[in-house]
Copies of this chain bind each other. A is one copy, B any other.
């Protein structure tokens, strides 16, 4: 039986292209004593992976050229010489872009398919959901009646942000690209308003959707969308920054004018709080609360989610490019095996 891996062939300059990825194949390994053999069923694709492909300074070490690309996965235990795991069990792991992996059990979490679909461990009940939960509640701190705005709002982080905001009594305004996604924001996710950033009247539409200004902007895209939002931030508004996907493929600083002095002036005049974060900062402080709250909200339908499942590891590079460009629709998951 053959195993397949997707490796970083060359660091991308701008958008990752076919030269970025290399598919390799070898024999499926046997677990040594204390190890398990995992078969990857689902691979999560997330924007942060673009950062790992670069060697620019970041919060995490880059993937080395030639190494298997990293990523969260849902796996089946195929064989085990580890006392805690047995063949047939399903686990959450960080096995990366490949069909099989060995593990010594570190960082694994057993998943119970009877509680929730196992793919939710990569989305609404996993890292993206926790990013939304911790960032919104700890940094955004929405109060009843306040207006919360989030972009990429049909994505796994954005959709959870809006719905958690509503659970706290705030008004949720989602920004997404195109009428189909905007309709989903209203009809599937129950946002209070949806604004299409591809519309020529985007700035006016945003103003109309936020008549009382914006109290929390959950930043996960950056770029021109963020610029339009900033202008509508209220006094004491909070801006949790968990991602800047619109800028990840940038190869140089954009042309002027230099907007940084104007932005800092806004921070000063409106007493804004701008706070970058990576979700694992809050695991110790908010992880238990998340595991208490979120599964219930998903089960009772107060937090809905959407998955964009692509078939086969060979589809991963194109799906990854599409996600960065806003062509995906929901949490992007690669079905590597049934």
Q: Which residues of A contact B (CB under 8 A)?
A: 57-59, 219, 222-223, 226, 235, 241-244, 247, 250, 252-278, 281
Contacts and interface: CB of A to CB of B under 8 A. Distances in A.
Contacts of A222: 261, 264
16 contacts: A59-B235, A226-B264, A242-B268, A244-B268, A250-B261, A253-B257, A253-B258, A253-B261, A253-B262, A254-B257, A255-B256, A256-B257, A257-B258, A258-B259, A263-B263, A271-B275
Nearest to A255: B256
Contact of A254 (B258, B265, B276): B258
A261 B244 contact: yes
- Most chain B CB neighbours (cut-off 10 Å) among A58, A274, A277, A278: A274
B244 A253 contact: no
A57 B258 contact: no
B276 A272 contact: yes
Contacts of A235: 59
Contacts of A268: 241-244, 276-277
Given A274-B267, A276-B268, A278-B271, A259 B260 contact: yes
Contact of A271 (B219, B253, B272, B276): B276
A226 to B, nearest CB: 8
- Most chain B CB neighbours (cut-off 10 Å) among A243, A252, A265, A278: A265
A276 B237 CA distance: 10
Q: 10 closest A-B pairs (Cβ-Cβ)?
A: A256-B256, A253-B257, A267-B276, A268-B276, A259-B260, A274-B274, A254-B258, A260-B260, A255-B256, A273-B275
A266 to B, nearest CB: 8
A256 B258 CA distance: 5
Contacts of A263: 260, 263
B255 A257 contact: yes
A273 B254 CA distance: 24
A275 B274 contact: yes
A277 B237 CA distance: 11
A58 B277 CA distance: 29
Given A222-B264, A255-B257, A261-B250, A57 B269 contact: yes
A276 B267 CA distance: 5
A34 to B, nearest CB: 34
A256 to B, nearest CB: 2
A88 B165 CA distance: 58
Contacts of A272: 274-276
Given A247-B265, A263-B263, A59 B271 contact: yes
A260 to B, nearest CB: 4
